[in-house]
A and B are shown apart, each in its own frame.
Chain A
Amino acid sequence: MSEALVQSTTWYQNLTAEEERAWFEKQIQQCDKEITRFACHIAGNMEKAKDLVQEAFLRAYKYRHSYNEKYPFRNWLYAILLNIHRHNCKKEKFYKTFIPWKTSDDEEQDAWDFIESDDEGPEVKTLKKQLVVDIEKSIQNLPLKMREVIVLCDVLGYSYDEASEVVSCPLGTIRSRLHRARRQVKKDLEKIYGEDLLTSWR
């Protein structure tokens, strides 16, 4: 019993309020770029992504004492962000039924506006940039549950275990969602570029 008590010390136990705050700021600074990228892929445009990230920081600070340091801070933040986004999507769906709602603003920047290409020759650069833009568009067209998984696993390189922690669903579900998401993205790209693209791409 005493061993269990010793092992369950929390990250904030021996910290003052100022130290807690400094710890939190440091954690946020370490992952703010990554979380912005993640939010852009999930939300599909910059304005929504910024709002999501701000809301996620706020909620993370409010519930900071519930953070379990056994898991990476970044994963916990991603989970919070996903929950906020899911809630926003449900609210938007509800309002769309009863209130005329502008789905996208021409002035809002889409996620693919931030794609930069590698330093290669101009023709190759344009082709690869366009390809990456098409991949991003295809990801944005996926249903939210599939999008979450493909962004975590393929874009950010998470393992299935890590993705299942963030998304809070079993490994089998992650596996099937990822499989369906990849199949859909592959189909979309083959429609635009033909079947040879994926066979011969390097």
Chain B
Amino acid sequence: MLKMNKIGYIIGREYLVRVRKRTFWLLTFLLPVLYGLLIGFSVMMGRNPGIDDQQVNVFDYSGIFNGKLKDSENLHFLYQKTGEEKTFIELLKKSENQHVLVIPEFNIQENVKVELYSAKLAATFISEQVKAEIRQVVKDERIRSLGLNQEIIQSLDPEVNVVSQKITEAGIEKDNSIAASTIAGIAGFLNYMFVFVYGSLVLRGIHEEKQNRIVEIILSTVKPFELMMGKIIGVALVGLTQFMLWVVLIAGITMIGLPEVIQQSNQMSLPAEAQDILNTLSSINFPLVLGVFVFFFIGGYLLYSSLFAAVAASVDNQADMQQFTVPLSIPLIIAMVSINAVIQAPNSSFSVWMSMIPFTSPVMMVARVPLGVPEYQLIISMLIMVASFIFTTWLAAKIYRIGILVHGSKISYLQLWKWLFYK
């Protein structure tokens, strides 16, 4: 029978020892701070894209353009008296932000050729904007010369929006592929990181206990299984604490920073795709993604950390440890590098299998969920996960209880196998 109060003491120690460490808080705050900086940076960039105001001095011999070229945020048109362009071109040599635009007389029905002088070759956005503005003015002139109404012409110009639709059994869904893929990739990678980072904490913790020989004193009062589970659960709670803090902090930063970013992107009207992402983010089922994430974090972590625990208990030195931890980590690494393949084709048989095998599902299923997974697959994968970690913890406990007291001998797989049958 398990003694819950003792497991409680062990969990408490394992948790507090780690949470009190400076490195824990450093890492906990570093990520949101980086994220905050990223948001802050893009806000800053939005306010000042790093380009000084540019002034285009217009010498208009055609007389059509006066006042009609539209300024943009960084580009201003200034109309100058014709005939003085030579002096201006002399002055240009001193300033990189001054340009001279010479528009000759031309027939409104013919092509237009203008000259743009700059100290250095003008940035593309300047020449592009100049071109667009001139074209607009000439077009308007031509329309007027035909005697047509401006508004009628505008009404002829249709606005076209292509909305991708995804057909599923349940009907037609709004496609959110870019946003969803991003979320899928991040979630899969995060879970890979979590399982690895916290699995290694268990590995190191048990190795330390074995090395400094405290374990026997403890084992005279608690069962090996209780000690192992206490450690695994304690470390898991550290992981969840860190994750929750991240969620809260990042959500906080997002709420403060994102409206600003959205507002700016609206003003700039430039990143239509970005806007799409922002809009479609809201269509993802975040509670489901988060729930599945936490479930597979716990499941994958229990699976890997129990096996790591068995390894740490069995071997004496770090070098021998690798012989066992490397093969154990390979499936997880394969899962990580296959995230992209799964995102590209979330319902391929490769993806489905990878999200069923418990050694890869903590990464794969988490990556698939934001892209849409049939419910039955999710449920089967979860059941396999639960059955697997129950099995691995049982297996690990059997090896752990013998291994933790063995010193000085090199351990082979055969030996581990034999330990399973020791009384």
Q: Tell whether A and B belong to one assembly.
A: no
Contact residues of B with A, CB < 8 Å?
Answer: none
Which A residues contact B (CB, under 8 angstroms)? none
